[in-house]
Structure 1
Amino acid sequence: MPAQSFDIPPSRYEALIDWEKRLANEAPLFRALFARHRVQRVLDAACGTGRHARMFHEWGLAVEGADASPAMIEQCRANYGESPTLRWVVRRFESPPDPEAPFDAAVCLGNSLALAPDMAAAEAAIRAMLGAIAEGGVCVLQVLNLWALPSGPCVWQKCVTARLDGELHVLVKGVHRVGDAGYVEMIDLTLHDGGTRPAYESTRWLGIDPDWLVSAARAAGARSVQLLGGYQSQPYARDTSTDLLAVIER
């Protein structure tokens, strides 16, 4: 059974994430990598609502943010506009970009790679991203480490309230593992005078094996692949790391 896109409206996606905390946690790793590789041009594949792309652009870099969701890209343009150094594109991450010049870095974050429809599409996405960066460039891939989750029970991650489109919502998100696949569970309760209006979504995601990830990156032209267990550059541990990050040098 293939995975599927996590098709969440941009407003719900934004409400679920503490962006100030998240970006503060992740920025030092990107600053260090971008400085080491003298990055000037960045591709953010599966950019969502564009928060990372905007951060990179605020650092003085030229950025292209791409996402398969027209709604996400529309939100990016509405929030941040466009300029000669900030561009938004509707494009699936397995489709090769056609930049005027190669990028110096590419990122694919937030478990997006694991939401590819199947492993062949995930492999095509890695080829497309590495093919888009210049020799000596760097690519950062981040997925949830499925193998640290218990098989069966749901691990509930978030429960937030937010006023969206004039209505009060309770948003609940969890993840769980079934064998070699993961699932994202979303509950959206709209509160009103007469009670609640519920909406539910369950999305399957691919279990990205670290050995497969290294092999796919090398087949796509990687010179080196470093696996990390988080944004503090801690070593990856299959049974305990929350994240699986691959820092790939071309």
Structure 2
Amino acid sequence: MTDANLLTDHPALYEARFPDPGHLAARWAAHCLRSHTAGPRVLDLGCGTGRDAAWLHRAGYDVTGADLSDAMLAHARAHHPGPEYVRADLRGFDLGAKAFDAVVCLDSALLYCHTNDDLDGLLASCRRALAPGGLLVAEMRNGAFFLGGTELLDAPATGSFTWQGTTYRHVTRLRVDRAAQLLCRRRVWTTDDGAPPVEQRSAWRLLFPQELRYALAAHGFTVLELHDGPGPRTEPAWRSGGPAPTGGADGDRLHVVARRT
């Protein structure tokens, strides 16, 4: 069994596993930017394959995509051109003199900040990158959900998909490391082409709504929205003209819009 990240090491496979033909995540982010009158200069932090950055670029934004993965950046430049793509560690980055009107951080990328120092590094970097009044827009797993919700932890999850004639199957187990406040995932991939199994381990910091408010305030941000949905990965999902957020925090996703003060 090899130890690798099958999906993030193979960006085309990642996009096949997580298709977003309607560009829901990017459209939700654009809705937040419009709702709070953000300017055109956008930093997509943790941009991954570049799908969302490229959609925002086509929508008229001046987009820079930043990621730590060379494989993801190469894929983004080749398959989702338009934005500028740069290598950066979200836990602490400095992109020079350019000031952004918004930082967008989607799909729990913010939760790769596993420690308080990591989180401080990200928020300090975002503040430094933003023009006064700029926005931070993020969506992520909701730590508060795991105070009572156990359905994601009770049993292994299985799934499969087929890409270019090969079927990929996975068994995924989640557990909570309460002392470290991490949601830990162990996923084993198998394929029908005779390749050895691939074990993938990853973790996300579990942030609670009030904890996130406190961290943002400490770094000079005012929270404008903080809620469990609807968003691009909720059920039902966000849709243009759909219901407004209720302000609750019971769901398994958390959405935040904060302004640099």
One-letter identity of the residue aligned with 2:160: V
Residue 106 of structure 1 is matched in structure 2 by 103
Q: For residues 56 and 62 of structure 2, what CA distance do their matches in structure 1 show?
A: 8
Q: Contact 2:114–2:182 (CA<8 Å) still a contact in 1? A: no
TM alignment of 1:1-250, pairs within 5 A: 8-9=8-9, 10-21=11-22, 23-24=23-24, 27-28=27-28, 30-34=30-34, 36-82=36-82, 86-149=83-146, 150-151=149-150, 152-154=153-155, 156=157, 159-163=159-163, 167-171=166-170, 173=172, 175-179=174-178, 180-192=181-193, 197-230=196-229, 231=231, 232=238, 233-238=244-249, 240-250=250-260
Offset, 1:171 = 4.3
One-letter identity of the residue aligned with 2:199: Y
Offset, 1:50 = 1.0
1:207 to 1:38, Cα distance in 2 relative to 1, 3 A: closer
Q: For residues 128 and 227 of structure 2, what CA distance do their matches in structure 1 show?
A: 22
1:79 to 1:211, Cα distance in 2 relative to 1, 3 A: same
Q: For residues 245 and 156 of structure 2, what CA distance do their matches in structure 1 show?
A: 23
Q: For residues 6 and 123 of structure 1, what CA distance do their matches in structure 2 show?
A: 29
Q: Percent identity?
A: 24
Query: Tell me, which stretches of 5 or more residues in structure 1 are unaligned?
Result: none
One-letter identity of the residue aligned with 1:69: S
Q: For residues 155 and 235 of structure 1, what CA distance do their matches in structure 2 show?
A: 31
Deviations 1:177-204 (A, max 9, x none): 3433212332321212xx5632121212
Query: Tell me, which stretches of 5 or more residues in structure 2 are unaligned?
Result: 232-237, 239-243
Q: Which moved more, 1:93-102 or 1:130-139?
A: 93-102
Q: For residues 95 and 195 of structure 2, what CA distance do their matches in structure 1 show?
A: 46
Q: TM-score, normalised by structure 2?
A: 0.79
What SS does structure 2 have at the residue aligned with 1:19? coil
One-letter identity of the residue aligned with 1:94: R
Q: For residues 171 and 117 of structure 2, what CA distance do their matches in structure 1 show?
A: 31
Offset, 1:236 = 4.5
One-letter identity of the residue aligned with 2:186: E
Q: Which moved more, 1:104-113 or 1:181-190?
A: 181-190
**Count, aligned residues:** 237
